[in-house]
Amino acid sequence: MASKLKIKVNGLVHSVTASLDTPLLYVLHNELHLHGPRFGCGLAQCGACSVLLDGKEIRSCVTPVAAVSGKAITTLEGLPALWAKERGTAAAAPAALHPLQQAWIDVQVPQCGYCQNGMIIQAADLLSTTKNPTKEQIKVAMNGHLCRCGTQPRILRAIQQAAAVMAKGGR
Amino acid sequence: MTGLLHERGLSRKTFLKGGGALIVGFSLGGALAARRAGARPAAAAAGSPYPVIDLGQLDSWLAIHPDGTVTVFTGHVDIGTGSETGFIQVVADELGVPFESITIVMGHTDRTPLQGKSTASNAMASAVQPVQVAAANAYQALLGMASARLGVPVSGLTVADGVVSGGGKSVSYGDLIGGRRFNISIPVSSPPGSSDPLQTNNGSTGALAVTVPLKDPSQYRYRGKSIPRVDFPAKVAGTWTYVHNVKVPGMLHGRVVPPPNVGARLVSVDGFGGHRVPGLVKVVAKGDFLGVVAETEWAAIEAASTLKATWSGGGGLPAYRDVYAATVASRTVQDVVERSTGNAGAVLAGAARTLSATYNTPFNTHGLIGPSCAIADVAPNGNVTVFSGTQWPDGTRSDVAYLLGVPKDNVRVIWFEPSGAYGRLGTDDAAGDAALLSQAVGKPVRVQWMRGDEHGVAPYNSAAVIAIRAALDSSGRISAMSYENWTASHSASEVGNMLAARSVGRAREHPRLSGAASVPGYSIPNLQVVSHYKEEMLRGIYMRSVGGIQNTFARESFMDELAHAAGADPIDFRLNHMTDPRAIAVLQAAAKRFGWDYRTSPKPGNAGTVVSGRGISSSGRMTTIVEVSVNKKTGSVTATRAVAAFDVGRVVHPDALAAQIEGGTIMGISRALKEEVRFDTSGRVTTRDWVTYPILRFREIPEVETVIVDTPNPAAGAGEPPNETPAGAVGNAIYDATGVRIRTLPFTPSRVRAELKAAGVA
């Protein structure tokens, strides 16, 4: 049975209508029209659907929408504003891209790009707790995310680049 | 970049509506397209609502707008490899305009010229040709116009950034032609391959006759440079529109309930067992096709997963452990002698020293991270629009028309990028499902396959058995070789064989046979190569390199076995049988980068529990060297380093090429170490998710070093070769490390452990 719910996504509270057991992913994609998180498996096995829930990476394909009420969801689209907030920049003028997103472009990471949402979200989670991760720490953190195009070596480089940029407080 | 994205959005006919929803307004498409493109030809076939694009008209390929920006129209599509960027580089050079001024419309069957399939790594090898030639014709025409306008002979004109200058004056392309047609005919020198499902398709992307000068490579400004890819900013920001993100007004959501096992027939639909499904619109059963339509996506998923149905029959597959014996024993569809040079049979029969071995490669699945997805709108007036990520828009158009029983003229396919597809080609199963469901409810329906559908009923890369026998002469050279490959055709699902089509009895016999034996490129005086095309076991379709990975694994493993028998280093032994200087240069470049220690295998002194080794594999102008670590106790194999060297001819985009080599190498190692589609005797595929069909994970990814051997030769395809060679290199490296030859893929811990144990090594 559909219910009216309020969820906080990328800093804004949205009213949505969905049954309580609907996975968050479908609400984000079909109600809020956010295209960062993507359906990959519906089984929490691949990570294409990842979002941040209070800053920690979760799989939106298996998280019921009812479970996120009162918590802050950040999607790929919300990373620039999140970064602006962390830096204390005025929200009115956020950086165009989060340093991770910029590093992804600088290193030319994607191929098809379908999995990269989860890769960037997981990397944001990692860098929020581990400012200067080693290669091995990055590999361990990213191990739950699948990429079929074989972009992992570039992802590794991009995370290292973004970590260096963020350590200096900006671009 | 914002401007570019805006242009892109317009060209893909998208606009924002209510709350930022991306709605594709295809009813406005025609008018919008016409405005963007100037007065492009829009001749529709009699009775067809959709224009047929004339290949032989310059205006079909590109339009220059009053502001000097350019729209390119191509039937080719970019499945994540960067061909869109490559096409823009080529056109920018040929036309003499800034890279940033060009946008591309790809794969709209009613707006772009037909270009056959986007397959076989053909983007830069052939698909770009007509686009390049059209741009060259436009360049010459613009020079002529400028000459007349400025009163300066063409020889006195120069072009920079879309502005023609001469005699102290200048005029822009936008002023010369902006918004108007060129009206220039260009002879079509070869047509694109047919999309008629009853005709064999040769895969041609079509070509235009070259009757005007093309730019000399010395004049290239963009080609050969790693221009940042145009799709990445939107892809990392979350604003890119994949086919999965397309929404149309009034759209409903569908899901399929595929047959539980191969060949099962639908007996009855038995309801939801008391489970209420709010939002359900309709259960659609037609022949053996079963699907649901609902108002929301989650309701469709719940309906499909709770719907009860009775199925009968099906199965008929062998026990999985017998898959290779069954492949050889199954009915032969056709035997093809691929090569018969000299007299291999007689030389082998009389040879003093022969060697033989048989190799097995399993079914593989493409493993799209984003499952098949399509939106179909079968309108009440009989017109059909399909949004699809197919690699062959016109093929999908033919398939959907035949499936629905409507004229092809009334169907159009609008392409949006899918998840990487690695050869799934026109087998866009979701397009067929969406078409049937939309027809049943009279509204647009979006279908996205679930993971179990994608892994469990998608078409696969067929299993193969390859037997090789060779004779070595007294000097250690191969004097004769017999090479046989048993496999089902890899093109069985290429045309008209979407799962939905099979389910409603609208699949068609497809005459094309492909994917069996490939002729070894080594110099062998007596050579017999035979393909045995066998009856289909599981629905088959090309996968990155088609038969390449199977044949290369077998041939390159066997070359190492021969090298061992001849007491030679594996590289020396290969060089002794190679004549193509480019292939030799690549092999040597790989060896140099790796720091190859020339010696025989296995590596001496490997006595510990964890041992290492290195192996080489070569195919044409691609060489891969892989270093592995093998735990003899657990059987676990880790690729620790890979060097991949490639001569693809003249490089359009070095970084995109490097990315293809890296990605192909990683996927190749993944297929070597992990990947295997399995089934049970009921005919049910049991590897239905990422746990049962694992692929290489982050911690298992080796360093990949690419060596690009750039030569001024015509560009060849880059997507497939890097994927062919790794498996052979991994197998040879395992042998180097352990002295045990394993001839069946994948090299899982259980297989490696068992083989080592059988050989007394573990």
A40–B370: do the CB atoms touch at under 8 Å?
yes
What CATH number is attached to the domain comprising A118?
1.10.150.120
Q: Are residues B551 and B692 in the same domain?
A: yes
Identify which of A97, A116, A143 has the shortest CB distance to residue B698. Answer: A143
Report the alpha-carbon angle B461-B463-B469, nearest 5.
130
pLDDT of residue A91: 53
> Residue B570: pLDDT above 70?
yes
What's the gap in Å between the CA of A70 and the closest CA on chain B? 22
User: In terms of residue numbers, what domain contains B153?
Assistant: 2-15+27-231
Identify which of B238, B244, B370 has the shortest CB distance to residue A76. Answer: B238
Mutate to test the interface with B, among A111, A136, A147 (most CBs of B within 10 A): A111
Q: Are residues B375 and B346 in the same domain?
A: no
pLDDT digits (tens, 9 = 90+) for A86-113: 888 655 565 689 999 999 999 999 999 9
Residue B183 resides in a domain: yes
Residues in B closer than 8 angstroms to A154, CB to CB, are 659, 662
Query: What amino acid occupies position B481?
Result: M
Report the alpha-carbon angle A129-A133-A137, nearest 5.
95
What's the gap in Å between the CA of A128 and the closest CA on chain B? 19
d(Cα A118, Cα A102) in Å, to the nearest integer? 16
Residues in B closer than 8 angstroms to A142, CB to CB, are 698
Mutate to test the interface with B, among A148, A151, A155 (most CBs of B within 10 A): A148
Last residue of a domain, one of A76, A92, A119: A76
What's the gap in Å between the CA of B661 and the closest CA on chain A? 9
Residue B237 resides in a domain: no
B238–A117: do the CB atoms touch at under 8 Å?
yes
Residues 6+ apart with CB under 8 A from B759: B738, B739, B740
Query: What amino acid occupies position B302?
Result: E
B690–A39: do the CB atoms touch at under 8 Å?
no
Q: Are residues A71 and A148 in the same domain?
A: no
Q: For chain A, 171 residues long, give each residue's pLDDT as a single digit of tens.
A: 789 999 999 999 999 999 999 999 999 999 999 999 999 999 999 999 999 999 999 999 999 999 999 999 999 999 999 999 988 865 556 568 999 999 999 999 999 999 999 999 999 999 999 999 999 999 999 999 999 999 999 999 999 999 999 998 875
Total number of domains constituting chain A: 2
Residues in A closer than 8 angstroms to B703, CB to CB, are 153
The Cβ-side half-sphere exposure at B710, using a 13 Å CA radius, reads: 11
User: Average per-residue pLDDT in chain B?
Assistant: 92
B232–A108: do the CB atoms touch at under 8 Å?
yes
**pLDDT confidence of B193, banded at 50, 70, 90?**
confident
Mutate to test the interface with A, among B236, B446, B449 (most CBs of A within 10 A): B236
Residues in A closer than 8 angstroms to B298, CB to CB, are 18-19, 21-23, 26
Nearest alpha-carbon partner for B555 in B464, B650, B635: B464
Residues 6+ apart with CB under 8 A from B1: B233
Paired with A19 in beta bridges are A2
Q: A48 to chain B: nearest residue by CA?
A: B369
Mutate to test the interface with A, among B366, B369, B697 (most CBs of A within 10 A): B369
pLDDT digits (tens, 9 = 90+) for B593-646: 999 999 999 999 999 999 999 999 999 999 999 999 999 999 999 999 999 999
Q: Are residues A158 and A97 in the same domain?
A: yes
Identify which of B279, B689, B701 has the shortest CB distance to residue A152. Answer: B701
pLDDT digits (tens, 9 = 90+) for B119-144: 877 888 889 999 999 999 999 999 99
d(Cα B663, Cα B660) in Å, to the nearest integer? 5
> Residue B508: pLDDT above 90?
no
Last residue of a domain, one of B429, B457, B485: B457
Q: Are residues A70 and A94 in the same domain?
A: no
Q: Are residues B699 and B736 in the same domain?
A: yes
**DSSP secondary-structure letter at B419?**
S
B238–A153: do the CB atoms touch at under 8 Å?
no
Residue B160 resides in a domain: yes
> Residue B44: pLDDT above 70?
no
Identify which of A38, A45, A111 has the shortest CB distance to residue B663. Answer: A111
**Phi and psi (nearest 5°) for B363?**
-65, 135
Residues in B closer than 8 angstroms to A152, CB to CB, are 666, 698, 701
pLDDT digits (tens, 9 = 90+) for B209-267: 999 999 999 999 999 999 999 999 999 999 999 999 999 999 999 999 999 999 999 99
Structural tokens at position B435: 């078409």
Residue B242 resides in a domain: no
Q: Are residues B569 and B617 in the same domain?
A: yes
Residue B241 resides in a domain: no
Q: Can you give the pTM of this predicted structure?
A: 0.94
pLDDT digits (tens, 9 = 90+) for B703-761: 899 999 989 999 888 899 999 999 999 999 999 999 999 999 999 999 999 999 999 99
Q: Are residues B352 and B426 in the same domain?
A: no
The DSSP line for B601-634 is SSPTT--SSEEEEEEEEEETTEEEEEEEEEETTT
A116–B79: do the CB atoms touch at under 8 Å?
no
Which burial class, exposed, middle or buried, applies to B505 when counting CB atoms under 10 A from its CB (0-12, 13-18, 19+)?
A: exposed
Q: Are residues A62 and A83 in the same domain?
A: no
d(Cα B585, Cα B424) in Å, to the nearest integer? 33
Residues in A closer than 8 angstroms to B238, CB to CB, are 34-36, 75-77, 117
What CATH number is attached to the domain comprising A53?
3.10.20.30
Residues in A closer than 8 angstroms to B366, CB to CB, are 148
What CATH number is attached to the domain comprising B737?
3.30.365.10
Structural tokens at position B395: 């093929």
- What is the rounded radius of gyration, in angstroms, for the C-alpha atoms of chain B? 27
Q: Are residues A92 and A163 in the same domain?
A: yes
User: In terms of residue numbers, what domain contains A127?
Assistant: 78-167
- Which ipTM value was assigned to this complex? 0.97
Residues in B closer than 8 angstroms to A138, CB to CB, are 698
Q: Are residues B10 and B155 in the same domain?
A: yes
Residue B541 resides in a domain: yes
> Residue B31: pLDDT above 70?
no
pLDDT of residue A123: 98
CA dihedral sign, ordered B450, B453, B459, B465? positive
Alpha-helix runs per DSSP H in B487-580: 499-503, 548-566, 570-575
B297–A142: do the CB atoms touch at under 8 Å?
no
Last residue of a domain, one of B426, B457, B488: B457
Cis omega before residue B694 (within 30°)?
no
Q: Are residues B529 and B417 in the same domain?
A: no
Q: Are residues B399 and B515 in the same domain?
A: no
Q: Are residues B211 and B262 in the same domain?
A: no
What's the gap in Å between the CA of A123 and the closest CA on chain B? 13
Kindly report each contact of residues B198-201 with a partner whose C-beta sits within 8 Å and lies 24 or more positions away, as own/partner.
Answer: B198/B508, B200/B511, B200/B512, B201/B116, B201/B117, B201/B395, B201/B494, B201/B495, B201/B512
Mutate to test the interface with B, among A149, A157, A159, A161 (most CBs of B within 10 A): A149
Last residue of a domain, one of A27, A42, A76: A76
Identify which of A30, A110, A153 has the shortest CB distance to residue B235. Answer: A110
A139–B231: do the CB atoms touch at under 8 Å?
no
Total number of domains constituting chain B: 3
